[in-house]
Amino acid sequence: MRRSAVVQEIMKDYEKKRRMAQRRREEKVQAIYEMVPELEALESQMTRQGLAISRALLSDPQNQQRLIHQLEQEMNRLQERRSALMNSHHLTEADFQPHWSCAHCQDRGILKSGKHCSCFKQQLINQAYQMSNLAGILAKENFKTFRIDLFSEKEIPEEGLSPRDNMLQVLQECEGFVFNFDEPNEKNLLFYGPTGLGKTFMANCIAKALLDREKVVIYQTAIKLIHLLENHQFGREGTPQDSQVLTRLFDCDLLIIDDLGTELTNTFTNGQLFQIINTRHLEGKKTLISTNLPPGELMVRYDDRICSRLFAYYSFVKFFGKDIRWEGRGAV
Ligand SMILES: [Zn+2]
């Protein structure tokens, strides 16, 4: 989903909010009038009085001043009566105003100066969070909650590195990826290694950091992704949201494909996967792939077109060590 489409959705939401606030205001005012009918009568009198003053301004200059003075005095009297009535019923001017979610822009998203209100930026982020499929998890899994101390300092001889030192490098690479996200030459990422070493956690860290920078991030498992593409290709009935989801796969700022290799692999899935990886690459959109398969197995599993793209345009990031059981240890 392109940013402009996201913005359109947000503007529709603002419109809805404004209408809702205005309707609530009318209901509230109506309830007040039912409780204090004199107030309604006074207000229509004041409106008429206001009009009379405007007309008086166009009248014969000789009588004008006297007339206006008289009308204004009457207006003041009405206003005083209204104030007294409101006081006696514990009403304030605020009771007659709509209750906006954002008082700065009155739920327009745009300020009088023409600039976006600060609430608009937050809306943009919220909308992107919702679309990412990650909204719930990101509060727990992000760079701030990452704990390097969970990784062993003991060197693994065949890697020549301890899991902790490796994770420090991974962390650096991921932070670099976020930092340089808008650089066209920055490579995509491919995380590989067995389950339980923090690949998904790291992907979530990146997702959150980018969402907070107003990027559109979509997370999808390979299985679900292929399922969506199959449904679309074979004209099967999907949910009404599916076509929107499909578009987002191609044009979100970052697509995270989790668990590549768990889906059924055949010519169809190879073709579809190639299309996504290649289209995104050609359009300069970043992709993050996470897989349990080591590079050698990827080459067996996927056709040359896919592998050549992966090896050329992805930075391979290896996760190794012992399963540190991310689940159930709280924030790691
Ligand atoms: Zn606002």
Find, among 11, 19, 9, the residue nearest to 108 by Cα.
11
Distance 121 CA to ligand 1 centre (A): 9
Banded model confidence at residue 308, pLDDT cuts 50, 70, 90: very high
Distance 271 CA to ligand 1 centre (A): 45
Distance 120 CA to ligand 1 centre (A): 6
Q: Is the pLDDT of residue 332 over 50?
A: no
3-state secondary structure of 40: helix
Under 8 Å between Cβ of 146 and 171: yes
pLDDT tens readout for residues 171-199:
999 999 999 999 888 899 999 999 888 89
User: How far is residue 74 CA from its own chain's centroid?
Assistant: 54
Distance 18 CA to ligand 1 centre (A): 11
Distance 207 CA to ligand 1 centre (A): 25
Distance 138 CA to ligand 1 centre (A): 25
Q: Is the pLDDT of residue 311 over 70?
A: yes
What pLDDT does residue 65 have?
Answer: 84
Distance 111 CA to ligand 1 centre (A): 7
Distance 90 CA to ligand 1 centre (A): 29
* Joined tokens for residue 297: 């197995």
Phi and psi at 13, nearest 5°, equal -65, -40
Higher pLDDT, 314 or 324: 314
Under 8 Å between Cβ of 204 and 288: no
Tell me what the mean pLDDT of segment 40-45 comes to: 93
Q: Is the pLDDT of residue 327 over 50?
A: no
pLDDT tens readout for residues 116-158:
888 887 787 777 777 777 777 777 778 888 888 888 888 888 8
